[in-house]
Structure 1
Amino acid sequence: MRGPSAPVSDDWLDAYVSSGSRFRDDVWELDIHTAGRRAFHKILRWPSALPTDSQISKEQHQQLIRAAKQYLWSLSTDPPPGRRRPSAPTLQAHGQLVQTIIAWMATEGLSAFRLLTPSVVGQLVAWLRARPGAGTRGTLKPTTVGFYLNVINTMYLQRAKLEDSPMVNPVPGSSTSGLAGVCKRTAARIPFIPDPVAVDLLSKALDWVENHSATIIAAIDLAERTYRTAAAEGWKESWTRTIVNRALAAADIPGADGVPLTQTVTVRRAGNHLTAACFALIAGLVGMRASEILSMQVDAVELMPIGETGLSQAYVVARLFKTSQDPRGSLERWIAPQPVVSAIDCLARLAAVLRADTKGVDLFIVKDGFGAPIEVMTNHLITWRLQQFAEAVDTVPHEGRTWEFSSHQFRKTFARFIARGDRTQLLALADHFKHASVAMTSRGYVGTDFELHQLINEESRNETAWALDRILASESLGGRMGERIAAGNHGFRGRAGEEVRRDYVDFVLAETDLHIRGCDYGWCVFQPEVAVCGGEIAPNEALRSPSACSSCPNLVVEPRHAGYWQERRTRNQALWERASPLARASLAETIGECDRMLRRIQEVEGV
């Protein structure tokens, strides 16, 4: 059965799916240039053999594969209205999904896609939900099940262009995500790294890069040179390793923990941890995607003057793939704080040692042993190394458990940090924001990365909702805005006010443009018309300070901020005791600010 306007010839089989492969080929070598993919990640192989428990003939199996190829051809040449033509990585992903569907169909005796009726699709969903995966019960996540259903639904939408496709809406009266069970609870959004964990990991990563990279790279260099010399002298592989270990033992080069790096295995492990530390700093302090970071090459840092100030700002130059029209990615720049510049320099030195006399410009490279070829680093590998590094440096636990890192989490964490407006919480970010603020506003930190702008806006809304809920429920608030809220929020407090408070927060987010921006000494319920700092769309970071905010009608301080005000008071009291009479007047005013704030937020809490 054909669709009403299905192709009448097989010309589509000779069309090119890539520069070197046609749709009729059983091996597609796709033009995928996204960083972090090796050669085998760019190939899609179509099975020639039947599944072992197949209930259809080989000819029927090949007809299914032909239909799948035609479906992908239709997406490439004439996608459904409103959809863009898929990129090579997307085409490969669709191909892998449809291959899994074909394998299931073969075992169920389904010889054509037109047999995928709603009831049959329901059986497929049940099978997919039971497959092993990374869900909460070790099965596929609902979002992954939704990807499979989206392939079937898209095939239905393309039915007029295909010889074989579902002819009845496979998800009538529903959506693919709804049928897959995707909801807020199961959406499996990428989490941000909790603040204490992020602080700990980035601080230790910075320590590795600044204080231990030189000795680690020296040990790797010694091992590589010794191996090459031994190999050139004709020593067998088993002996070369012994010779390298003896050289390392004699050199007695200390590792990050102070223990000498005397074995090839410990040297290689230290190099892996150093690479992960560099990635964490770049991802955590710049907010780039993993593919963008892995695309970085030698000389990735570019200095640009800041107006006529005589100063310069460092930028990371890398390739943006996801939103680029160029399949090879477009060159973009991201502002780079000094820790990131140090990390890139560290990677360049490490890569030069690993390459020796071979050519290459990539910074994130892998060498799986002496004499092994240089490979590009994959996203999966860098995620594994991040976890190994976190375990090696013993990062602080979260809720009693070791945090499971992934490369994507750093981007979300960066966005949340920007959205919160807290410029002082992460030790490794303090220098970054102080330097960058000379050049641009908060929205300028991410350059032309518009998707990150959207992510920041989403996190800003989440932060506003969370802060507003806390403020409305609190009995003890300081700051001019805080005192006003505490005087009239009785109906929002306690368990009785939970539902009212939740409804009010939803109303505020939906009907107003209110933004609450945090810092370590309070919340700014931002209203530009009365902001002492003079900010127009957000607090002015250049003029924002505890003293300025104390007199601002926008400030709210709650008991969780007491530590900052107590520490500020102690610090200024120590200065007052040894200051001149003239300076004491100013310090006494600051101490008074702290006393008034602490007295207000401790009135009800009794702390």
Structure 2
Amino acid sequence: MTRRKQAAEAMVEEVLNDFITEQESEGVDDEEWRYQSTTPGRPDMAISWEFSLPDGSVFTDARWMQLAVEMQIAVQALFSIRPNRRKLKNSAAYDLSARVRFLVRWMVLSGHSSMGELTNEALDEYKAHVYLLKAGVGGTKGYTANTVSKYLSFPVLLYAVRDAIRNAGLPIIPMVPYGGVSPFSLAKASSAPLPERIPAVPDALYIPTMNAVAEWMDIQIPEALAALEEYFAIQAKFPEDTARQKAEMAKLTFSTPPSMSEPWCPGFAQPWVRTRRRRTKEKYRETGLDMWYATRALFSDVRDCCTIAIQGGTGMRISELCGLAALPYDKKTGWPACLEIERSPSGEEELFFIKGYIYKGEERDRPGRWLAGMRPVGSDYLPLPIRAALVLDKLYSRYRKLTGRNDLLFSLNNNRRLPDLAEHIGDVASVVIADGQNMWVHHYVDFPDEFEKWKITSHQWRKSFARFCFRVDETLLPAISRQLHHISVAMTEKYYLGTDTELEWLLRSESIEYASELLYRLTHGESSAGGMGNDAEDLTWSFDTNLEAEDQDEALDAIRRITSADNVWGWGLNWGACVFRPEHAQCNLRDSTAKILATSPKFDGLSPTSSCQYCRNLLILKEHKPFWQARKIKMIAVRDSNRAAGLSDVEAVTERNIAQCDKILERFE
């Protein structure tokens, strides 16, 4: 196989791997395929095959049977379990449905009725069509390069599962789409703007919000829970007398917090006037709420305050929050199953954790826990996220009994009032949590007018948490990375701390310290591999003679002076560490925007088989050995699978990867 063909096939594999994660099929019918959600907070997804076409027909019409079967076989192949590959996540069904419709409609417009007609000349026309409709002239459509790339990548996905289509006796896309050029590279060449990173909640909004949450935990929430208990008691006492229910609820009064000049809740004697966001629009509208609707709004206010406390105080993802369990209760503490307390190593403090599961990028959910605070032994203080979880446990307790489920959070699926039937209780939806958090902030938090239209996404709490902790103490960066369950400190730095100048300078000391520790281990006889591991002897000679000092601190100081003066930063990767020197960085030198003053590798696209394998900055140490052991096992399985499938033309690639693993592992024997 030629080098160019290998690169093209590698592009196809990369696009497929980027797209594939976990998914389970619930069943199919002729017009719609449904997929059950495996991520808490996400709804079930469906792929609809009955959609209109530009010529007035419908895709389920008999005339399109062959193309429909080709597409259905391809989708089944993408969702099926294949050796050494993961399955699709449920959210992929939504994307796939949109991509199928877009490509099929273009094919009908262009007179194509089979995948076998999608030559590279035809796909050049499809690319122009995507550019026009998804990017527009001068980027006027508003879609980012990521969106454009999704539509361009669909033919690549169809090509990746060509064996399944061919085995059914149907024609396939005849060659690697776009001549092997990656869809994202093509998307960047369009006029579509590059995607912006999700920002953190601005400090002027985050800090007053968390202060308001803290006040609510002390004042508003105890009163709200008492009011809700009274509501349920009144409902039970006067089940048929709505007038008496209203009269009794109208007697409830609420306190005036120190930060306010009037009671925080108007009570239930008169309808509430609430400003609510229309889900599909940015603007708000005023709504009048009667007693039953107001009681439900109060219930939602408590929920929204508590979810902000947990996400803003721990950095949990929305799916991790939605997946928390309340049952069974801990026999010792009486707390819900998602809470845990343990002694610190010194025995002088108690550490509080929220425990659950991590769903992002996982083929199976795996256990995870998040530090929620600490206190001296003997204190009765409870951290804010722990108090919030306890409130949610109490808030939903009646619905837990009603349904027999163990979830901490639920969705209330009826209209207007609080439900009293199990059929009205369902899985919590992340969109409900996100919408509720926005409404709570805009209703109860005093923030500058410039943020009136700011829409908070659930992921922004995570970034704000990271930035706040880092500003308190820059040495917390590795701890923040672990708290967010990132595999690398580099992920935390690049996507969560952003390009804030102050944070960059705080980060510099941590990264230089990491580089110094790596170089100390390298130059003091520790087993190593990688490009820098091979240079160990030369590097030892090139450093100051103080490296020979018997005192470790003195030797480290010597290295630290050099790394600081030369601005050498250290970065953690899953397969090794990068002691970044721009003049040796292959990812930097091979890029069209190479910078001689760069301080970090180009993380996008890095992998064990990328430029890292040839780079003199890569240092592999004993803690990276499990990665290479697992990689060897995986590569052997890939090779054996390819042999069984008769794919001998790619065996050289897998053998080279296995040899790479062997060479590295030999250094640690």
C-alpha deviation, 1:470, in angstroms:
12
C-alpha deviation, 1:53, in angstroms:
4.8
| TM-aligned CA distance change 1:448 to 1:362, over 3 Å | same
Residue 449 (str. 1) matches residue 492 (str. 2)? no
Q: Give 1:352's match in structure 2, choosing from 391, 397, 400.
A: 397
C-alpha deviation, 1:378, in angstroms:
1.2
Q: Where do 5+ consecutive residues of structure 2 fail to align? A: 1-22, 258-262, 269-290, 327-335, 374-382, 508-592, 603-669
SS at match of 1:171: helix
Q: Give 1:392's match in structure 2, choosing from 443, 449, 452.
A: 443
Residue 194 (str. 1) matches residue 222 (str. 2)? no
| TM-aligned CA distance change 1:404 to 1:304, over 3 Å | same
Residue 286 (str. 1) matches residue 314 (str. 2)? yes
C-alpha deviation, 1:406, in angstroms:
0.5
Contact 1:219 1:253 (8 Å CA) reproduced: no
| TM-aligned CA distance change 1:360 to 1:54, over 3 Å | same
SS at match of 1:30: strand
SS at match of 1:261: coil
**Aligned mates of 2:128, 2:440 — CA distance in 1:** 43
C-alpha deviation, 1:35, in angstroms:
0.5
What is the root-mean-square deviation of aligned Cα atoms in Å?
4.0
C-alpha deviation, 1:261, in angstroms:
2.5
The number of residue pairs the alignment matches comes to 434
Counterparts of 1:233-272 in structure 2 under 5 Å? Answer: 235=240, 240=242, 242-253=243-254, 257-262=263-268, 263-272=291-300
C-alpha deviation, 1:70, in angstroms:
1.4
SS at match of 1:408: helix
Counterparts of 1:36-435 in structure 2 under 5 Å? Answer: 36-37=41-42, 41-48=43-50, 50-51=52-53, 53-54=55-56, 58-77=61-80, 84-89=85-90, 91-101=92-102, 104-105=105-106, 108=109, 109-116=111-118, 117-126=122-131, 128-129=133-134, 139-162=142-165, 163-172=170-179, 174-181=181-188, 186-231=194-239, 235=240, 240=242, 242-253=243-254, 257-262=263-268, 263-298=291-326, 299=336, 300-307=338-345, 309-326=347-364, 329-337=365-373, 338-354=383-399, 357-367=402-412, 368=414, 369-371=417-419, 373-397=424-448, 399=450, 401-418=452-469, 420-423=470-473
SS at match of 1:322: coil
C-alpha deviation, 1:89, in angstroms:
1.7
Counterparts of 1:16-31 in structure 2 under 5 Å? Answer: 18=24, 20-21=26-27, 26-31=31-36
Q: Quick one: which amino acid aligns to residue 370 of structure 1?
A: L
| TM-aligned CA distance change 1:18 to 1:214, over 3 Å | same
**Aligned mates of 1:44, 1:511 — CA distance in 2:** 40
Q: For residues 61-118 of structure 1, give each alpha carbon's deviation from its aligned partner in whole angstroms, at most 9, with x where no partner exists.
A: 3433322221123334576x9x832234254245323333255247625422344422
Q: For residues 189-224 of structure 1, give each alpha carbon's deviation from its aligned partner in whole angstroms, at most 9, with x where no partner exists.
A: 211111221111111122223321111122223223
Q: For residues 341-385 of structure 1, give each alpha carbon's deviation from its aligned partner in whole angstroms, at most 9, with x where no partner exists.
A: 011011111112555644232222222433351122211111111
Matched with 1:549 is none
**Aligned mates of 1:243, 1:144 — CA distance in 2:** 56
TM-score by length of 2: 0.57
C-alpha deviation, 1:398, in angstroms:
7.2
**Aligned mates of 1:321, 1:400 — CA distance in 2:** 32
| TM-aligned CA distance change 1:331 to 1:353, over 3 Å | same
Contact 2:466 2:480 (8 Å CA) reproduced: no
**Aligned mates of 1:275, 1:138 — CA distance in 2:** 38
Contact 2:356 2:367 (8 Å CA) reproduced: yes
Contact 1:290 1:408 (8 Å CA) reproduced: yes
Contact 2:353 2:372 (8 Å CA) reproduced: yes
**Aligned mates of 1:254, 1:315 — CA distance in 2:** 32
Q: Quick one: which amino acid aligns to residue 216 of structure 2?
A: W
C-alpha deviation, 1:255, in angstroms:
8.5
**Aligned mates of 1:199, 1:140 — CA distance in 2:** 32
Contact 2:317 2:459 (8 Å CA) reproduced: yes
| TM-aligned CA distance change 1:139 to 1:66, over 3 Å | farther
**Aligned mates of 1:279, 1:171 — CA distance in 2:** 46
**Aligned mates of 1:107, 1:247 — CA distance in 2:** 65
Contact 1:313 1:335 (8 Å CA) reproduced: yes
Q: Quick one: which amino acid aligns to residue 38 of structure 2?
A: H
**Aligned mates of 1:130, 1:454 — CA distance in 2:** 31
SS at match of 1:507: coil
**Aligned mates of 1:21, 1:183 — CA distance in 2:** 40
SS at match of 1:346: helix
C-alpha deviation, 1:302, in angstroms:
0.8
| TM-aligned CA distance change 1:467 to 1:52, over 3 Å | closer
Contact 1:283 1:289 (8 Å CA) reproduced: yes
SS at match of 1:335: strand
Q: Quick one: which amino acid aligns to residue 361 of structure 1?
A: N
Contact 1:146 1:176 (8 Å CA) reproduced: yes
Matched with 1:33 is 38
C-alpha deviation, 1:184, in angstroms:
11
**Aligned mates of 2:47, 2:601 — CA distance in 1:** 51
**Aligned mates of 1:206, 1:505 — CA distance in 2:** 46
Moved more, 315-324 or 27-36: 27-36
SS at match of 1:449: coil
**Aligned mates of 1:310, 1:165 — CA distance in 2:** 67
**Aligned mates of 1:259, 1:77 — CA distance in 2:** 53
Q: Where do 5+ consecutive residues of structure 1 fail to align? A: 1-16, 425-436, 472-502, 513-607
C-alpha deviation, 1:18, in angstroms:
4.2
TM-score by length of 1: 0.62
SS at match of 1:303: strand
Question: What's the % identity of the aligned pairs?
Answer: 18
C-alpha deviation, 1:274, in angstroms:
2.2
**Aligned mates of 1:411, 1:183 — CA distance in 2:** 31
Q: Quick one: which amino acid aligns to residue 67 of structure 2?
A: L
| TM-aligned CA distance change 1:330 to 1:403, over 3 Å | same
Q: Quick one: which amino acid aligns to residue 113 of structure 1?
A: M
Q: For residues 421-456 of structure 1, give each alpha carbon's deviation from its aligned partner in whole angstroms, at most 9, with x where no partner exists.
A: 4249xxxxxxxxxxxx9xx98526735813474432
Q: For residues 121-156 of structure 1, give each alpha carbon's deviation from its aligned partner in whole angstroms, at most 9, with x where no partner exists.
A: 12441464279xxx9977544322322222222212
| TM-aligned CA distance change 1:460 to 1:122, over 3 Å | closer
SS at match of 1:220: helix
**Aligned mates of 1:291, 1:307 — CA distance in 2:** 31
| TM-aligned CA distance change 1:183 to 1:260, over 3 Å | same
| TM-aligned CA distance change 1:165 to 1:408, over 3 Å | farther
**Aligned mates of 1:469, 1:184 — CA distance in 2:** 32
Contact 1:105 1:111 (8 Å CA) reproduced: no
Contact 1:302 1:315 (8 Å CA) reproduced: yes
| TM-aligned CA distance change 1:78 to 1:279, over 3 Å | closer
Matched with 1:482 is none
Q: For residues 523-562 of structure 1, give each alpha carbon's deviation from its aligned partner in whole angstroms, at most 9, with x where no partner exists.
A: xxxxxxxxxxxxxxxxxxxxxxxxxxxxxxxxxxxxxxxx
